[in-house]
Amino acid sequence: MLHGRVDGIYMVEKWKFQESLKLFSLGAFKQRHPKEEPIFWESELKHLENNVESLSKIEKVLKRSYDGLTIREKEIFLDIVFFYNNVNKGFCMRILDACGFDALSGIKLLEDKALVTISRSYTIQMHDLLKKLALQIVRYQKYCIPRSPEERSRLRDTEEVRDVFKSSEKTPVEGIQFDLSQDVKLDVQVDTFSKMKELRFLRLNVPRGKKRSTTVKIPEDLMPFPDKLRIVMLNISGTGSRWVTVDIASQGMNLRECKKLIKLPDLSGASKLKWLHLSGCESLCEVNPSVFSNDTLVALMLDRCIKLPNLISVKHLTSLEKIDVYGCSSLKVFSLSSDSIERLNLSNTGTEVLHSSIGGMRKLLSLNLEGLRLQNLPNELSCLRSLTDLRLSDCDLVTKSKLETVFDVELRSLKILYSKECGNLLELPTNIYSLSSLYELKLDGSNVEMLPVSIECLSELYILSIKTCRKLRSLPKLPPHVKELHADNCTSLLKVSTLKTFSESMNGENKYISFKNDIELDESSLIRMIEYVILTMKSAALHNITAPRANFSMATFYDVSLSLFRSANLSAGRPFECLGTP
């Protein structure tokens, strides 16, 4: 509209408080500074609020902008005023899109017309006069004829919501928001929501920073929600309600912190459900398998559901991308798999049974089973061809034979393997060489007695940690690119074959070697270790001399340290100590 007519568009910024106060004082008191007596402030404020003539002029201008919007844009504008003001833009867009609006272009147009602004923190904001205009549009018909609450499209006033919930009349309401921090009683009738055929948005929650005071009564035989409902956000903790009936076409349900929610009903009718938040539902004892029946769910949040005993899906899923079961201390059986899950953390749960279907997670990158008292460790773990991070620490089922089955050729992508504190792990299998991408291996606190010679074939291994492996007796030749070796407190370690690899292929990489408190090392091993540490320091110094000639951007300062106690075979004295910074 302005193309070719203006050179630029200037965004009018919000005034600072002192500037606003000065303008207000000039208009209200005819002076630069306000009068101190509160009675003058209150008097002038009431005058401005009741001055229909002055306000009507402003509102007519604003109303003209509103009237120029399309039906879709008007719906977005009113939704923002009632439900999404000072809300994250991304969250708002997801819900509006679920309601069939093109939120991206709609919000951009409202922003261009200065009906909304987007803050630096990415929240949607709106001027108070625009909010007042929207309230009038919803509450009044033409010629200032008021609508009854049952006739309004959006509700957020406490008394209005209570009246509509009690009413037996049908209502065209599209959205309801209720503040549960108010000290009132809210009675939900059996047919309350079945009368709201146009309902798209329902939120009964406690605002951040406030405490719950509302008593909500929800009947056990609550009739189904309307088909147009796209988001349900209920915080009904402490209501005494045993469970909530939900049979909706919603794309999202937020039931977080519903402390007395025991179970979910059959959700097979929720054909568009994409996310379900049940975090902190401490009484939840069952997640009905019907939640997964339509395979539309993308995110399932169950963290801190401390009474949930199992999580089972009878079918392999394709849509589920994120699942959180952190703190589900009673969770014993986990039988769920999806093509889209990339990270699965079952630590801090009580999982004992891990179903073989886990092998079907084609995109799984990270799997954490640390600290579990598993009754089985599925051989199908070897099928996780995308897996890069596997953590099996503090697991009694980890043995040489079990790892030999898991270390199949399919695990070529694995980069991180933790098997710390595994009491039954006495030896690593020889086929560990098949983990061709392995970068970090941690065996701290396990009972390994020896490392296989084949470990030398792990050409990508950079970090090896065997701290407190008190039964380890010998250390074979290490892979060529290891740059960190943590071998503290290996109190039975007698022989170290060679550390020559540390002095090779410096390439600007720091080297770390530690054998603290390895008191049984024989004299020949000690001497070889010191020789190779000195050789490593010399190689580092040589690299710093030659690096500029090879067009490296800068030289590297290496810290190479070796600290260990004298063996019993050597004369008593202070610890051997070799420190250097080339």
In DSSP notation, 211-223 reads ----EEE--TTPP
Strands (E), 366-472: 366-368, 389-391, 416-418, 440-442, 463-465
Q: Are 188 and 215 in contact (CB under 8 A)?
A: no
Q: What DSSP designation does 251 have?
A: S
Residue position matching structure tokens 């250390």: 475
pLDDT at 376: 87
At 443 the three-state DSSP class reads coil
Instruction: Give the CA distances from residue 472 to residues 303, 355, 357, 426, 475, in Å, rounded to whole numbers and listed in that order.
Output: 39, 34, 36, 9, 8
Instruction: Write out the H or E segment, with its range, that includes residue 41.
Output: helix 38-50
pLDDT at 451: 94
Give the chain's radius of gyration (CA, Å). Answer: 34
pLDDT at 568: 40
Q: Which residues of the chain have pLDDT under 70?
A: 1-6, 8-12, 28, 34-56, 143, 218-224, 234-250, 265-266, 269, 409, 502-509, 540-582
Q: Are 319 and 298 in contact (CB under 8 A)?
A: yes
pLDDT at 221: 61
pLDDT at 92: 87
- For strands 123-125 and 87-88, give the pairing: antiparallel
pLDDT at 394: 92
Which residues have a Cβ under 8 Å from the Cβ of 77 and sit 6 or more positions away? Answer: 66, 69, 110, 115, 116, 134
pLDDT at 113: 87
Sign (positive or negative) of CA dihedral 504, 505, 506, 509? negative
Residue 475, strand partner residues: 496
Q: Report the predicted TM-score, pTM, of the whole model to 2 decimal places.
A: 0.63
Determine the Cα–Cα distance for residues 302 and 278; give it in Å rounded to an integer.
5
pLDDT at 220: 61
pLDDT at 565: 46
Q: Count CA atoms closer than 13 A to 198's CA, side-chain side.
A: 13
Instruction: Give the CA distances from residue 109 to residues 72, 101, 241, in Å, rounded to whole numbers and listed in that order.
Output: 11, 13, 43
